Amino acid sequence: MNDILKEILNEIQQACISISHEIRYSDSLDLSEVEGKYNNSGDNVKKLDLISNDILKRRLVKCKHVRMIGSEEENYLIPGSGFLNGKYFVCFDPLDGSSNISVNITTGTIFAVYEYINDNIQSGRNLVMAGYCLYGGSTQLVVAQNTVDIYSLEKNGFKKTHEDWKIPTQGQYYSVNESNKHIFLDKKYNQIIETLIKKKYSSRWVGSMVADGHRTLIKGGFFSYPGNKNNPEGKIRLLYEAYPFAYIFEIAGGESSNGKINILDIPFPEKIHQKTPIILSSKMEFEL
């Protein structure tokens, strides 16, 4: 990892430590209060969403190599200190799974760092670093660059606990919101669910991309949010959720797809809050 990416990662790490502190030492019911508005993704904005967004913005906007910043909670891209000649575009979902805040279930922060090539970003293939921070029983940071490394938050900061993590070739869990299965646009997902049930897989669904994606990365298996009649493009945002998780899974030896092509090969969106159906999987389940 070059020095510039280290600098960006350090700012993200410090932001995640601050967010973790807010979650651990605040009232979850207070943090889950709705702020009376919706973001551009159509989600209710909670108090902790705004706190997390402000923490990350303050950290990243001062990085002289960051040209632009994109957030789920912002309507438009934000110029960074490197607006004129910065090499990197940083996107984040400041608080993924905010519907779980009030009940004190796992939430997270997702980030993606893209490199401009000839002043353009073509697709997820422009990613040079991505990761997420998981706020659960402990706070963990997963960072993907040349390898996928896992860090745990200790008193003095993040300590690397696992290097070059690889997803198991096969898992024992599938993660799909089955309450939507009667309105899936592509009925192959119903067939996949039935196949996995017959193969004695167990169902797990938290409703947080970080929680469900992390479990799939660690334990293997199958995660998906298909398009349905209510949400034809699914609910996962391409720039700051789907691209970074697809990048992580590819480096870890897993698979990703929108049901047709690799997530990383989807062209860079014109709208920063564009959504996509998604599959994240071990190789064995992906072959199904």
Contact 252, 212 (CB under 8 A): no
Q: At what angle do helices 3-24 and 47-60 cross, to 10 degrees?
A: 150
* Beta carbons within 8 Å of 66's beta carbon, 6+ residues apart: 8, 60, 80, 81, 82, 86, 88, 89, 90
Select which of 11, 149, 212, 241 is catalytic. Answer: 241
Task: Give the position of tokens 């605040």.
Answer: 26
Q: Is residue 72 among the annotated active site residues?
A: yes
| HSE value, Cβ hemisphere, 13 Å, CA-based, for 249 | 34
CA–CA separation, 214 vs 156, rounded Å? 24
Q: Is residue 74 among the annotated active site residues?
A: no
Q: Is residue 241 among the annotated active site residues?
A: yes
Q: Is residue 43 among the annotated active site residues?
A: yes
DSSP symbol at 268: P
Select which of 93, 212, 250, 255 is catalytic. Answer: 93
Of 122, 127, 121, the C-alpha closest to 256 is 127
Contact 96, 107 (CB under 8 A): yes
Select which of 9, 31, 49, 264 is catalytic. Answer: 49
Select which of 5, 9, 31, 95 is catalytic. Answer: 95
Of 110, 107, 115, the C-alpha closest to 67 is 115
CA–CA separation, 122 vs 102, rounded Å? 38
Select which of 9, 11, 31, 72 is catalytic. Answer: 72
Select which of 11, 96, 212, 255 is catalytic. Answer: 96
How far are the Cα atoms of 50, 87, 126, 263 from residue 120, in angstroms, in the given order? 29, 10, 9, 18
Q: Is residue 73 among the annotated active site residues?
A: yes
CA–CA separation, 249 vs 171, rounded Å? 14
Select which of 43, 178, 233, 265 is catalytic. Answer: 43
Select which of 11, 48, 56, 73 is catalytic. Answer: 73
Q: Is residue 96 among the annotated active site residues?
A: yes
Contact 222, 264 (CB under 8 A): no
Residues tagged active-site: 43, 49, 72-73, 93, 95-96, 241
